[in-house]
Amino acid sequence: MIDSATVDRIFSAADIVDVVSDYVTLKRRGVNYIGLCPFHNEKTPSFTVSPAKNICKCFGCGKGGNPVNFIMELENLSYYEALKFLAKKYNIEIQEKELTPEQIQQQNERESLIAVTEWAQKHFTDNLYNHIDGKSIGMSYFAHRGFREDIIKRFQLGYAIDKRDEYTQEALKKGFKLDYLEKTGLTIVKENNYLIDRFHGRAIFPIHSVSGKVIGFGGRAIKKDDQVKYQNSPESEIYHKGQIVYGIYFAKNAIIRERKCYIVEGYADVISMVQAGIENIVAPCGTALTVDQIRLLRRIIPSSDEEKSDENKNVTMLYDGDSAGIHAALKNGKLLLEEGLNVKVVVLPPEDDPDTFAQKNNAADVLKYLTENETDYILFKTKHFLEESRRDPIRKAQLIADIASTIAVIPNLIKRAVYIKECARILETDESVLKSQMDKVRETKMEREYEQLKKGNENPATTDPTPADAPPPLPIEPQDDPTQVLPSYAPAISPFYEEEKSIIFFLVRYGKTILWLVEKEKEEKKQLEDEEKLLDSETDEEDESPETAVEEKAITVIEYIAQELGTDSIEFETLLFKQILQEAKEQLKNNPSFQPDRYFSQHVNPEISKIATDLLSDRYQISKIHNKTKKVEDDSERLVDSVPHVVMDLKFKIIEKKINELMEQLKNSGGDMEACMKIMADLKKYNQVKMILGKKLGEIVVTSNFRT
């Protein structure tokens, strides 16, 4: 376990802009930053980062939180793991207390899988430098490929000894469970518990997450008689090959610096290019390029223009000059275009792939070739097929249709218009022909998407609702965003959820703020006493209390809420809200430095932290409330009216629910006169209380709704 003082140091050091910037390209907007949400696909940025509050929030899918929440969600880590992750990032030493057997048992399985893969990487690398076979076979192979020792160390390359279960047995001796070795794919378990090292006798290429954790491996065959050239880690809880790209951990800073990303096909291509000085380069992990991989890159690649437009992010495909390489470039380019990227292609000489080309040339020559031979993807595709179709009308017609369908996937209207004009010139055809065909493709696509939407096959939380041709949205404040998704902690069963949430809003934001409540004249105090008497007394006699002088009473928002709810024995039905109130009371009593906003936004329970972050986001504001005699301007003044108002709202709803229950009992009384009389007497009391509460609520005029 991590002691509370260290946790405080981690939270103090972890800057939300710094943490999020490792995963998302941010640009300043006013006092905040904004970028594309890393949790769902969107083309219009709605992910807001607030340095002042040290929180982030997506106003599209609702996800966000403090730095720990963000890392937990994005890296799929436990709270404990996320703290260790940030401690490592900010060089904070953790003094861990000894865990109990129960706590050890509760350790997240994902942490165990990561521990296995990171041990395996160290084992493979150790083989390379210290085992006789590693030095003679593994290191010789890498030297033959032309990899320098500094590059081998940088990418943590290794070698798996060519014995059936060498590293499996070593891992078992170290105390790692066979179950975890099998789940990571490192070990293959056959019948009768026959164990095989998946990568035995292979050169090892570790695969890293965006944050640098080893999550999988690629194993390259060294022996000539090995039929399978590359053996890759299978899918696991920590490794999804379609969602990560090889080299991203090492490339992300260079991608941001250069405002561009190169894509190649293989691990060796990446390594050789980095060795030649091209550091902003990645490759798919043994698969064809996927949409998820493209979206990962799109979040990281910054804009290339001064306006920081999210529609000007550059990616260049770097492929072999043979037919297979060109085919891959043509296929992947369309996927990249559809995600709104600017796509270019570099085709290498027919005899080379990126690996061999980088080995043959020095860094200056490689960079010069890439710069001089970079071609726009659509123009490359158009010119590539034009010559072979020039004398064949049918093939040329097919080419025109293909180019039109390629242009159709581009989200930006202006870009489409430019490509229509340029491609029509190259193809020697009329612009209207290309445009007509493009419009047909887009209409068909929209109809298909609409049908899928009707069938419920589309998830609104992961789909950008902005039409492709929509003009840029007007700048609006986040709280006016209409796409709010109900947070996961909202219980559908509580009839008082919204009223309880409104109270918690004030507790989290303004819990220690002092309310200077003025005790009103006799009439108002009398009404408050009547409310209690009606529920506790069988008579309606008036209390001839003496008039009370006007008096100011200082009380915190937390104390006021607790007192008002406690007086009427009201408890929140939403369990997390109930826990927040209880902890707020305890902290206020025992912790002089307690700050509700910080305490709850950094809470160990991620659900409570999410609630606090959600309520601290700028979407939620105090309504512009004023009473009949005085307009209320600033927050401190408005709290005096707002806090009692939301508490009375809850009481009013509880009374209404009780009245409805009594009415239902009256209907089902079966003509029992005695029961009917008792129910009607209770109804009278509750209706009188409702009238008193309604009158008090009516004295406060709400000029704009409290946004929840």
CATH architecture of the domain formed by 251-451: 3-Layer(aba) Sandwich (3.40)
Q: Which CATH superfamily is domain 4-106 in?
A: Zinc finger, CHC2-typedomain (3.90.580.10)
Report the alpha-carbon distance of residue 527 to residue 569 in Å, rounded: 19
Most confident of the ranges 94-103, 124-133, 292-301, 500-509:
124-133
Say how many residues make up the chain: 708
**What is the chain's Cα-based Rg?**
33
The pLDDT value given to residue 581: 92
pLDDT digits (tens, 9 = 90+) for 49-100: 988 788 888 888 888 888 988 988 887 777 878 888 888 888 888 766 655 5
Interatomic CA distance for residues 397 and 391, integer angstroms: 11
DSSP 545: P
Q: Where in the chain is the domain with CATH 3.90.580.10?
A: 4-106
Q: How far apart are CA 185 and CA 213, in angstroms?
A: 16
pLDDT at 553: 66
- The CATH superfamily holding the domain 109-239 is DNA primase, catalytic core, N-terminal domain (3.90.980.10)
C-alpha atoms less than 13 angstroms from C-alpha of 381 in its C-beta half-sphere: 25
* Span of 286-300, 538-552, 615-629, 673-687 with lowest mean pLDDT: 538-552
* 413, two tokens: 């209207």
CB 585 within 8 A of CB 562: yes
- In the chain, where does the domain assigned CATH 3.90.980.10 lie? 109-239
* Nearest Cα residue to 664 out of 652, 650, 682, 648: 682
CB atoms within 10 A of CB 13: 15
Query: Which of 147-161, 552-566, 655-669 is predicted with the least confidence, judged by mean pLDDT?
Result: 655-669
CA distances, 639 to each of 53, 155, 418, 514, 612 (Å): 21, 57, 55, 9, 19
Task: Please report which confidence band the pLDDT of residue 493 belongs to, taking 50, 70 and 90 as the band edges.
Answer: low
- What's the whole-model pTM score? 0.61
In the chain, % of residues over pLDDT 70 = 79
- Which pLDDT value is given to residue 253? 85
Could you give the residue range(s) of every CATH 3.40.1360.10 domain in the chain? 251-451
In 3D space, the residue among 168, 187, 39, 183 whose CA is nearest the CA of residue 111 turns out to be: 183
